[in-house]
Structure formats: C-alpha cells, structure tokens
Amino acid sequence: MAAEEKAGVGRAPSCLCVLCGLPAAGKSTLARTVLSAAAQHGWRATVVPYDDLIPEHAFQTRAVEDGVALQDVHTEWKLHRHAVLQCIEQFMKKPEVLAELPSKCQINRAAWEQCIHTLLQPEDSLGFCQVYLHCDLESCISRNQSRSEPISTEVILEMVKRLESPNPQKNPWETKSIFLNTTDNLSKCDIQKVMELISSALSNPLSPVEDNTEQKEAARLKCASSVVHQADQACRRLISEAMKTARENQVSSEHMRSLATQLNESKATFLHNLRKQLLQETPLTQEEDFDVERVVKRAVDVFDHEKKEILLRIINDHK
C-alpha cells in the first residue's frame, strides 16, 4: 500500500500490512474492505494473497523426500511461501526489477503481476504493521466447512497449536500491531482502527536494517549441526538397544555383524539426509525460535522406525 504523491514532495512512502489469523478468520474479507477504504483515502493499494500465488498442488499432503519427516504436512507449501516472501522483499527494494518474475519461479506469474500492477512506482520508504484476526475456533471451522474448497479440520487444529500472535515486547518490528475480534462481523470502528494503523505506519517508516545474512547463515549452520549431533547420540542409543535385543534373542554372530552394519549404514544415511533437509528448509528468519528438542525427537522417531524394521528382519532371518 502506498500514499499518493503530493505536489513538490517527491515519491510517497509505502506500507506493508500483514493480515494474520486462522483459516476463515476473515482475512480476505478485511483485505477487500481495506482496499475500498484505501481508495477513498487516495492511496494505491493491492493484496498479495498466498492462495492465489501458490499453486494448488503445493497445498496437498505429500511424503517428505529422503525419509526424514520433520514436518507432517505441507512441506512443499512452505517452500512456495518462502518464494512469495522473497519476491515481496525484492520488489520492495527494486520494484522495476521484480515487475516480471524470473523464468523459473515457484509462484503464479499471472497472479503476481496482477498483485503488483498497482504499485509499480518505486517508493522511498517502507512502513510495516500487522493486524491479527482473532476468531474462535468453532466459528473458523464452521465458516471453513461452508467454503467450496475447505481446508481439513485437522490442519486448522494443527495451526491453532503453531500460530503465534504478534509480540511487540519480544519483536520491536511488531510494535505497530493490533488485534481484531472477527468472530462477529467487522464494524466500522474495526476498519477505522486498521486505517489509522496503516496511516501511522506510512508516517513512521522502518529504519534500514543491516544486512546480516552471513551471520544468519552461520547461525543456521550451527543450529543444524546441533540437531544432527543430538540426533546422532540418540541413534547410537537406539542401535545399542537393538543389539541388546538381538543378543537376547540369541541371534548368531554372523547375523549380529550384519545387524550392526545395516544399522550403522542406515544411521549414516539418515543423518546425512537430516542435515541436508535442515539446511535447505529452515528459513534464515526462524533460528531464534527453532525448537531443537522437538525437531530432534521427530527426526529420531523416523530412525527408530527404520531400526525396528531392520532388527525384525534380522531376527526373522536368524530363525
């Protein structure tokens, strides 16, 4: 969203307003209302919706490659979402360059061009604000089920666990954030609050931030190394348990050697794939909130399943 230019002032500031909340909380409805109100203020505005920019197949549940299930669903969707964020970031920096997407891109080209058509004029500064739409779970589920293509209720329940509301105390860039209760219809007062928030963000652009990509990359590498190290220790314990179980079942020496070889080869492949996936799929912006213990547990559960299959196969061969 951008304020129109004033005579003799030069290019006007722009504002990125993020609408967040559960599916069917009312984000699309609010976006349409804000667009109309922005036009009345003389502001150029557009909506960048994930649903239009990300291809449908990315929303479908799929098996994670390499057998390392760090996320249960929508792993591919996260990759496309990251591509959208990258395009928005680059467009804000150099609008004239990102007016057209590169030949190889993970988002919908036609939808992207429609999104940015209104905002092709470069701007001098950027404000940021957030509107968190709070709607009770029952209402979200009910509204979602009435849609032509509803999201599964299981996905919404999982999002309830993971969705974090703005936290200005922890994140200074979230200072300009408001909460709206959207269980009922939006009121004129609600829309007024949003427009005042955007107006304030336009008048108070963000300060340029230092590019610390290298530091973040180093932090991500450190995080991945920590996960792999802890997973390695846990896998070693699982292998020891498997060898003990095999001895208790009086497995022959030859089969014991085969068991040890297969388990260690499986562990090496597992850790290699785990590290590869962590480096590829962990966004640079999430290291601080990365739950290492949770990721290690979910990853090791995968290896534990492989261990049990190998052990069972060796015991059956011995018999």
Query: For residue range 214-233, what is the model confidence (pLDDT) as tens digits?
Result: 777 777 788 888 899 999 99
Task: Specify the CATH class of 2-203 in words.
Answer: alpha beta
- Please give the backbone phi and psi of residue 257, each rounded to the nearest 5 degrees, phi first: -65, -40
Domain ranges of the chain: 2-203, 213-318
Each residue's pLDDT, cut to its tens digit, for the chain (319 residues) gives 655 544 334 455 788 888 999 888 999 899 999 989 998 888 888 887 777 777 666 555 554 444 444 444 445 667 777 777 777 777 666 665 555 555 556 666 667 666 666 555 545 767 889 999 999 999 999 999 998 888 889 989 988 988 888 988 888 888 999 999 999 888 999 999 999 999 999 888 876 555 567 777 777 788 888 899 999 999 999 999 999 999 998 889 898 999 999 999 999 999 999 888 888 766 544 444 567 888 889 889 999 999 999 999 888 886 6
Query: For residue range 82-126, what is the model confidence (pLDDT) as tens digits?
Result: 777 777 777 666 665 555 555 556 666 667 666 666 555 545 767
Q: What pLDDT score was predicted for residue 251?
A: 87
Beta bridge mates, 16 = 128
- What's the CA gap between 52 and 28, in Å, rounded? 12
CB 292 within 8 A of CB 230: yes
- What's the CA gap between 63 and 69, in Å, rounded? 8
The residues near 105 (Cβ < 8 Å, ≥ 6 apart) are: 83, 87
CB 300 within 8 A of CB 236: no
CB 107 within 8 A of CB 101: yes
